[in-house]
Amino acid sequence: MAQPAIDALVFDVLGTLVDEPAGIRAGIRAFDPSLDESEVERLLSLWQRHVETEQRRILDGTRRYLASDALDHEAARLVADAAGAGDPAAVTALALAGRRLPPWPDTVAGLALLAQRFPLIGLSNASRTALLGLNAHAGLRWHQALSAEDARTYKPDPAVYQLAVAVSGVPPERLLMVAAHAWDLRAAQALGLRTAYVARPVGDPPASSDRFDLYADGLAGLAEQLGATTATAVSA
């Protein structure tokens, strides 16, 4: 029996469409130009670990919800303390590095190509305000951009993916979740969305047990596969 056609694409943003580590790394370098590259990498890891840990605590219910802006500011303060600098204005500027993330080379053209065939929905753990700045900085094209802030939780909580289902007005199986993170796709898959893995250097590769609908090396490859299959159906 043919699978249902795809009515809209839902995109993860951080890591999938923009190079998050590169943007934060650039912010750390600007914060303290005297740092050598090993120190920059150490501070980047400190930032990433903090955000990941605190999002996990929020998901576990051991910490009340805070939007990504607040977590980024906490991470920036940790980085500043570790670097031995404490100017509040500089810390605030560093915290905004999460909104200045460069797109991957194929992102802008790939989104424009896919937008000719499908409504595009961004679905990000970034806050509403951060997502606005991030989209503008990276030149991302959306028909709708949704923040996990609207669900007051973070992916992979099912409530975040439900935002895209509600906005699209179609059943989950008619949405294709696109991400470079296998954990993200597994959570969307559990809610009934179709899934497409796009390889990125900073992503979470699929495990041998994962069975996603599509696999692509980039957005051009994804567009080619969708163009070849969506005239009838997307094959599993």
114 lies in the same domain as 177:
yes
In a domain, 156, yes or no: yes
Judged by average pLDDT, the poorest of 20-29, 63-72, 83-92, 130-139 is 83-92
pLDDT of residue 51: 98
If one counts the domains in the chain, the total is 2
Within-domain flag for 127: yes
Q: Would you say residue 58 lies in a domain?
A: yes
Does residue 129 sit within a domain?
yes
Residue 234 located in a structural domain: no
Q: Say if residue 147 is in the same domain as residue 188.
A: yes
Examine the fold and report which residue of 64, 99, 134 is the final residue of a domain before the chain moves on: 99
Mean pLDDT value of segment 168-191? 97
Give every CB contact of residue 8 below 8 A, 6+ residues apart in sequence: 118, 119, 120, 121, 168, 170, 174, 175, 176
Residue 51 domain-assigned (yes or no): yes
pLDDT above 90: percentage of residues in the chain: 91
Same domain, 30 and 146: no
Tell whether 69 and 106 lie within a shared domain.
no
Position 207 pLDDT exceeds 60: yes
User: Same domain, yes or no, for 117 and 179?
Assistant: yes
My answer on whether 117 and 44 are in the same domain is no
Q: In degrees rounded to 5, what are phi and psi of residue 222?
A: -65, -45
Q: Identify the domain boundary among 84, 99, 114.
A: 99
CATH classification of the domain holding 47: 1.10.150
Same-domain check for residues 24 and 114: no
Same domain, 90 and 158: no
Which among 51, 74, 99 is the end of a domain? 99
- What are all long-range contacts of 210-215, with beta carbons under 8 Å and residues at least 24 apart? 210/182, 210/185, 210/186, 211/236, 212/182, 212/185, 213/176, 214/176
Q: Residue 179 above 60 pLDDT?
A: yes
Dist CA 19 CA 16 (whole Å) = 8
Domain containing residue 13: 8-19+102-229
* Assigned domain for 1 exists: no
pTM, 2 dp = 0.92
* Same domain as 75, residue 113: no
- Whether the per-residue pLDDT at 201 is higher than 60: the answer is yes
Average pLDDT over residues 99-117: 96
Q: How confident is the model at residue 176 (pLDDT cuts 50, 70, 90)?
A: very high
147: in domain: yes
